[in-house]
Amino acid sequence: MHPLQRFPNFIPRLRPAWLFALLSASIVACVAPCRAFASPASSDRVEDGTSQWRSALHYTPQRNWMNDPNGLVYHNGLYHLFYQYNPAGNAWGNMSWGHATSRDLLHWREHPVAMHADANEEIFSGSIVVDARNSSGLGAPHSPPLVALYTSAYKEGSGHAPGIQAQSLAYSLDDGKTWQPYKRNPVLTLAPESKQFRDPKVSWYAPGAFWLMSAVVADAHVVKMYRSDNLIDWTFLSDFSLPDTPHREALWEMPDLFPVPLDGDSSKQKWVMIVNVNPWSIAGGSGAMYFVGDFDGKTFKPEHMPPAGSDPSRYLWLDHGADYYAAGTFAGAPGGAPVTIGWMSNWDYADRVPTTPWKGAMALPRKLALKTINGTPQLTFEPVTQYAALVRASTTARIGELSVSSGTQALAPSTRGVVQDIELTISPQSAERAGLIVRASTDGKTGTRIVYDARLHTLTLDRSNSGVTGFSPAFSKQHIVNVDLTNGALRIRVVTDSDSVEVFANDGATVITDLVFPAREDDRVALFADNGTATFRDIAITDLSGEHGTGQADR
Ligand code: FRU
């Protein structure tokens, strides 16, 4: 549970556990040759403890606790990922900013801690921009500073009442390696001072030529927006809140506001407001909701607000799984499309996750687009372009078509893997339910199930029998979302890693991300159909086990 609060857990909608059907011995064709990958440099890996759950594709710090992504910025060919980090332990505390960089958002190099908690304050979440015009005056015209806005969470003796939160500034003159706090911090306090005023996200608002900040008053469920010409002096613009807060016990955290073209048409630009909410997520606990609307330089006006009293299912979510929180976008990402990264955990049980000597991983970076779906603008999500290129270059198995009748069929041994990209089209046909099992054991007794229910029109990621699950009663078991078939079929992409499963369905209109903790040797893939025959087509499986996202191979 989040150390800043003690709220009862949201109770997810559970469905009865599924029985694991018997794996049949059927072998299917595998064509393309397997890729050989270099082994990771073992000298700089910390592999005591629970190395079987160390992500290969997803960023994890070598040791210690990590939560929110912070300071997401692209600068001089590098993506910077700063993050909430405890340099002194594997539990939340001493909040500081850890730092990693990547050239492709997939291979990360961990750097020394960028900003340390000290006797006066902890360094809570925030953002970074490149102050290209040196508007802050903190750099020089030809060597612009990187400027971070973050939350100072004050301690006793700091001159502020303990627990007060205010927005502070730090700057870097060496491309993000080292950071100096601004001498007149904090730059923005609430009047009266608040213990819940945090998470400044700053961006350049081009139409008005000013810096725009959104920050939350977490327990008041409000996003406050400010403007500035120099990143130091901030003027209040407006508040965004819901007419009827449906979650009075929850906190709003980590806001983000950014423009996206609708249906790829830049003349039809909309604004998206991300509000991370805890604990009121669609999957229970913490999650990332979003609103689509317009921003006129002062006020954000959402369209299509759910009616008063709506439950989470009437809201829009970046992800329908349990493990996608504190998501935000990279400043200055090349290519035009917004790119997000989210913390792959949940405050309901993040402190109980059984990994050591580290705790916390980031989900795969995702490229966003805004599309008209069923008459309303909604975000779609896909792994970033660099990921798609990696998969295209190395697909190891292709299966044209396969039918399964009332049972489970294991795929060929050549499709085994822990770190995999699996794409396929599921046509449930006469089956009541159809889907696949990933990270399955050879005896078929455990595995993570991805289930399409043709009668209920739902897609479920079911981790009830996925391995180690008993470390917290709040580790929810099944995450369910309404999904319609297109011409009787569902195209999905599943990304498995050592401790996670991400499912992208219907061209990324729906994503489900869950942590799982299977045995190292649970590396089988199987297909199943319940009470009828289902067909699976265009199956492509890519072994990505040679990819190391955790700091060994900064390309
Ligand atoms: C979100 C959050 C932020 C805060 C940070 C503290 O997960 O609670 O609101 O700044 O984590 O670590």
Of 254, 274, 351, 362, the residue with max ligand 1 atoms within 8 A of its CB, to mutate for a pocket test, comes to: 254
Confidence of residue 548 (pLDDT cuts 50, 70, 90): low
Residue 443 Cα to ligand 1 midpoint, Å, equals: 42
Mean pLDDT, range 454-470, rounded to an integer: 98
Ligand 1 pocket by C-beta < 6 Å: which residues?
4, 67-68, 84, 95, 124-125, 151, 198-199, 253-254, 326
Residue 310 Cα to ligand 1 midpoint, Å, equals: 26
Residue 196 DSSP label = S
Q: For residues 196 and 217, is the Cβ–Cβ distance under 8 A?
A: yes
Q: What are phi and psi of 153, to 5 degrees?
A: -105, 105
pLDDT digits (tens, 9 = 90+) for 56-86: 999 999 999 999 999 999 999 999 999 999 9
Residue type, 24: S
> What number does the ligand 1 atom closest to the CA of 216 have?
9
CATH superfamily membership of 18-383: Glycosyl hydrolase domain; family 43 (2.115.10.20)
Residue 218 Cα to ligand 1 midpoint, Å, equals: 10
Residue 225 Cα to ligand 1 midpoint, Å, equals: 18
Residue 100 Cα to ligand 1 midpoint, Å, equals: 19
Mean pLDDT, range 34-38, rounded to an integer: 23
Of 125, 278, 349, the residue with max ligand 1 atoms within 8 A of its CB, to mutate for a pocket test, comes to: 125
Query: Residue 489 pairs with which residues in a beta bridge?
Result: 486
> What number does the ligand 1 atom closest to the CA of 125 have?
10
- Residue whose CA lies nearest to ligand 1 atom number 9: 253
> What number does the ligand 1 atom closest to the CA of 276 have?
1
Helix (H, G, I), strand (E, B) or coil at 237: strand
> What number does the ligand 1 atom closest to the CA of 124 have?
10
Which pLDDT score is estimated for 141?
80
Q: For residues 45 and 328, is the Cβ–Cβ distance under 8 A?
A: no
Mean pLDDT, range 17-36, rounded to an integer: 26
Which pLDDT score is estimated for 47?
57
Of 68, 85, 224, 362, the residue with max ligand 1 atoms within 8 A of its CB, to mutate for a pocket test, comes to: 68
Q: Are strands 339-343 and 325-329 parallel, antiparallel or unpaired?
A: antiparallel
Residue 266 Cα to ligand 1 midpoint, Å, equals: 34
> What number does the ligand 1 atom closest to the CA of 126 have?
10
Q: Is the peptide bond before 279 cis (omega within 30 degrees of 0)?
A: yes
pLDDT digits (tens, 9 = 90+) for 377-428: 999 999 999 999 999 888 889 999 999 999 999 999 999 999 999 999 999 9
Name the token pair of 5.
């609060």
Evaluated on CA atoms 294, 385, 254, 323, the torsion sign reads: positive
Q: What is the pTM of this model?
A: 0.92
Residue 386 DSSP label = H
Q: What is the DSSP string of 138-196?
A: SSBTTBPPEEEEEEEEE-TTSSS-TT-EEEEEEEESSTTSS-EE-TT--SB--SS-BSS
Q: How far apart are CA 553 and CA 108, in angstroms?
A: 7
Q: Is the peptide bond before 357 cis (omega within 30 degrees of 0)?
A: yes
Residue 495 Cα to ligand 1 midpoint, Å, equals: 27
Residue 344 DSSP label = S
Of the given ranges (111-120, 469-478, 545-554), which has the lowest mean pLDDT? 545-554
Which pLDDT score is estimated for 479?
98
> What number does the ligand 1 atom closest to the CA of 286 have?
7
In the predicted structure, residue 452 carries a pLDDT above the cut 90: yes
Report CA 473 to chain centroid distance, whole Å: 22
In the predicted structure, residue 33 carries a pLDDT above the cut 60: no
pLDDT digits (tens, 9 = 90+) for 173-189: 999 999 999 999 999 99
Mean pLDDT, range 485-503, rounded to an integer: 98
Of the given ranges (39-43, 354-358, 382-386), which has the lowest mean pLDDT? 39-43
CB atoms within 10 A of CB 79: 25
Length of the chain: 555
Task: Spell out the domain ranges in the chain.
Answer: 18-383, 394-543
Confidence of residue 244 (pLDDT cuts 50, 70, 90): confident
pLDDT digits (tens, 9 = 90+) for 308-351: 889 999 999 999 999 999 999 999 999 999 999 999 999 999 99
Does the domain at 394-543 match CATH 2.60.120.560? Answer given as: yes
Name the token pair of 383.
């792994």
Of 67, 121, 280, the residue with max ligand 1 atoms within 8 A of its CB, to mutate for a pocket test, comes to: 67
Residue 151 Cα to ligand 1 midpoint, Å, equals: 9
Residues known to be catalytic: 68
Name the token pair of 231.
């990143």
Residue 299 Cα to ligand 1 midpoint, Å, equals: 25
Q: How far apart are CA 380 and CA 496, in angstroms?
A: 20
Answer with the residue of higher pLDDT: 455 or 246.
455
- Residue whose CA lies nearest to ligand 1 atom number 6: 124
CA atoms within 13 A on the CB side of 208: 16
In the predicted structure, residue 50 carries a pLDDT above the cut 50: yes
> What number does the ligand 1 atom closest to the CA of 151 have?
10
The average confidence (pLDDT) of the chain is: 90
Which pLDDT score is estimated for 4?
53
- Residue whose CA lies nearest to ligand 1 atom number 8: 253
In the predicted structure, residue 51 carries a pLDDT above the cut 50: yes
